Structure 1
Amino acid sequence: MTKVIKGIKLRLYPNQAQTNLIWQMFGNDRKVWNLMLDMAQQRYHNNPKSQFVNEYGMNYLLKRLKQEYPYLKLSDSTSFLVVNHNLALAFKALFKHRGGYPRFKSRHQLRQAYTGRSVCRVEAKRRMKLPKLGSIRTSKTGQLTHSKIKRYTLSYNPTGRYYLSLQVETEVEQLPKTGQSVGIDVGIADLAIASNGIKYPTFNAHWHEKQVIKWQSKFNRRKNIAETAVNQWNHSHKTIKEDLNDYQNWQKARMIKARYQKAVANKRQDYLQKLTTDLVRKYDVIVIEDLKAKNLFKNHHLAKSIANASWRQFRIMLEYKCAWYGKKLITISAKDTSRICSKCGFNSGPKPLKIREWTCPQCSAHHDRDINAAVNILRRGLKAVG
């Protein structure tokens, strides 16, 4: 048994009073972030040589803020500590030239969330007790058995649903050893090609993706009509003004579009989870290429296909599952893995992507391009670890 930190996500079903309080807490966290950020800006403008107020200093100011804005007391107090921690990290990244200047948060953002460190516990199979909110109905909580909750994040996404993301400490059992090793080459037509010749196809959800395109078009058209109507009304009426949110038709299209987009994301996540778990169960040693997906996105002909394949997410899942279950993941350089003959080691040079099979000019061995690369990956990985 090994102790690990896992993330578990539950759906929430708040009543009207809880919904109102949730949105109040979203606003309170946003208020604290904006106040602290504004304070840092004003302090710098007044005296550029002044010392930056660190996380401890911002936490010290929270008591004064609650006196000035009494409604902040409605929130879980630990959520403000998380806000200050995140803002301090953002400034540290800025000072080290690893990120841009922190931005003010808006209530118009489609995704709202707050994170707390207070104690929350399971009350029943479909019910949890959260700070300030009390008992709230959820999806099944069976995954939380024998787990210690470290922190929680309550979020609202564009689909109109509320979710509770929990960071828990739990124990996992080591998977039995199989004595098998495999090299994996990632691709576009097939997500993963194993050195033993097995090919795992890339995820696809064609119907849902068509619906996303369809409703994106409807959303754009309806929003454009609403904006035109608002501008015409406000131009002709000086006393009574309309707002874009007064028109509901485009908002319905936005909600439907978001739900289809979420369905595609959920299906992709489920496919990757099942595939990576299957690989970790079958093999003790897995060797993959250290690909820089960010650089590959510069090819606009392949960017969408690479993003759909989710190479980065595939690797992340393999990394933490191998660590959990006592397996070994090895990453190697991707240089020349598809050019070298796996039989004799001859480097045949670069080939266009459309060439999927080739014959070695030196030993006349016929290769499937992807399987040959996977075999080279496995050999290079095993050689690297002796």
Structure 2
Amino acid sequence: MKARYQYRFYPTSQQQQSLAQLFGCVRVVYNDALAICKQSQKKPKSAELQKIVITQAKKTEQRAWLSEVSAIPLQQSVADLEAAFKNFFDSCKGKRKGQNVGYPKFKKRTSSQSARLTRGGFSVKGQGVYLAKMGIVKPIWSRELPSEPSSVTIIKDCANRYFLSFVVEVEPVQLDAKNQSVGIDLGIKTFAVISNGEKAVSPCYKALDRKVRQLQRKLARQHKDSKRRSKTRIQIAKQHNKTAQQDC
């Protein structure tokens, strides 16, 4: 069974520049491939898209800077687009369960950024992780990896936090089903009351919600694409992270 293990890391200023360049290249390759799919009557295959938006694009003056980053995350970006189209087509045909999946959208610079590296593009070396054409970053190992990871996704969220998300193989946990059931009563003042007597108190979000509303009003008054608006957007994202991580 596959699972994800995510760790936060703090890149140096030089590594931040390299990561920004990597995220930009991945985003451009994805958007270029999506634009070609939208213009084509029949969707090109993944191998053909990679040839156009990566191999041939590197030879042009407009996209020559794609050669400055590893080719692996660029190839994975096209593979991610292929998976997005598969999910969309399966959803339209009723083959995919759950909520309907929409048509793939272009990636934005202001959204969460990510780049995926498979084996050959990274390696775990002691307390550090080597990333191709970038060097070694040192994540905060909050827990050990249960097995050798098959891939790692570098993530930069909207609050400018950096994470490494590893895909690893784990053994399913077998639990003894005897006397494992408990009753849970959900409430308003008390979030949950468990039949064994334990209680979970509801967190108070009033102060955080008030701060978010103030920042959102401030954001609405600022000019689009301005530095102040970008700064306010990051502040709102940080407030949402505080709300999500609020303890009882």
- Which band: TM-score by shorter chain? 0.7 to 0.9
Q: Does structure 2 conserve the Cα–Cα contact (< 8 Å) formed by 1:122 and 1:141?
A: no
* 1:296-307 superposed matches below 5 A: none
Structure 1: gaps (5+ residues): 45-50, 228-242, 272-386
Q: Does structure 1 conserve the Cα–Cα contact (< 8 Å) formed by 2:191 and 2:202?
A: no
User: Could you say if the C-alpha distance between residues 26 and 74 of structure 1 is closer, same or farther in structure 2, counting changes exceeding 3 Å?
Assistant: same
Identity in percent? 21
Quote the residue 1:128 is aligned against: 129
1-structure distance, mates of 2:216, 2:14 = 34
Summarize deviations over 1:58-115 as a string: whole Å, max 9, x none.
2343322222322112333222232222212222333341432211122232x11111
Q: Secondary structure at the match of 1:143?
A: coil
Choose the corresponding residue for 2:68, options 58, 68, 74.
74
Deviation, 1:149, is 0.9
* 1:248-259 superposed matches below 5 A: 251-259=230-238
2-structure distance, mates of 1:192, 1:225 = 40
Q: Give the aligned length.
A: 235
Q: Does structure 1 conserve the Cα–Cα contact (< 8 Å) formed by 2:26 and 2:73?
A: yes
1-structure distance, mates of 2:49, 2:225 = 37
User: Could you say if the C-alpha distance between residues 171 and 260 of structure 1 is closer, same or farther in structure 2, counting changes exceeding 3 Å?
Assistant: same
Q: Does structure 1 conserve the Cα–Cα contact (< 8 Å) formed by 2:219 and 2:232?
A: no
Q: Does 1:57 align with 2:48?
A: yes
2-structure distance, mates of 1:92, 1:24 = 28
Q: Does 1:117 align with 2:118?
A: yes
Summarize deviations over 1:198-232 as a string: whole Å, max 9, x none.
365456331xx2232222122133234434xxxxx
Deviation, 1:34, is 1.0
Q: In structure 2, what residue type is equivalent to 1:118?
A: R
Q: Does 1:15 align with 2:12?
A: yes
Q: Secondary structure at the match of 1:182?
A: coil
2-structure distance, mates of 1:255, 1:83 = 25
Q: Does 1:179 align with 2:178?
A: yes
User: Could you say if the C-alpha distance between residues 257 and 36 of structure 1 is closer, same or farther in structure 2, counting changes exceeding 3 Å?
Assistant: closer
Quote the residue 1:323 is aligned against: none
Quote the residue 2:105 is aligned against: 103
Q: Does 1:43 align with 2:35?
A: no
* 1:1-386 superposed matches below 5 A: 4-44=1-41, 51-61=42-52, 62-68=54-60, 69-96=63-90, 97=92, 98-109=100-111, 111-119=112-120, 120-125=122-127, 127-140=128-141, 142-144=143-145, 147-171=147-171, 177=176, 179-182=178-181, 184=183, 187-189=186-188, 197-198=195-196, 201-202=199-200, 204-206=202-204, 209-227=205-223, 244-247=225-228, 251-267=230-246
2-structure distance, mates of 1:251, 1:33 = 23
Q: Which moved more, 1:84-93 or 1:149-158?
A: 84-93
Summarize deviations over 1:181-212 as a string: whole Å, max 9, x none.
42545634466666xx3365456331xx2232
TM-score (normalizing by structure 2): 0.79
In angstroms, what is the RMSD of aligned CA positions?
A: 2.9
Q: In structure 1, what residue type is equivalent to 2:159?
A: T
Pick the structure with greater CA Rg.
1
2-structure distance, mates of 1:202, 1:193 = 6
Q: Secondary structure at the match of 1:138?
A: coil
Q: Does structure 2 conserve the Cα–Cα contact (< 8 Å) formed by 1:12 and 1:162?
A: yes
Q: Does structure 2 conserve the Cα–Cα contact (< 8 Å) formed by 1:10 and 1:138?
A: yes
Deviation, 1:166, is 1.0
User: Could you say if the C-alpha distance between residues 204 and 71 of structure 1 is closer, same or farther in structure 2, counting changes exceeding 3 Å?
Assistant: farther
Higher relative contact order (CA 8 A, sep 6+): 2
2-structure distance, mates of 1:186, 1:30 = 45
Quote the residue 1:326 is aligned against: none
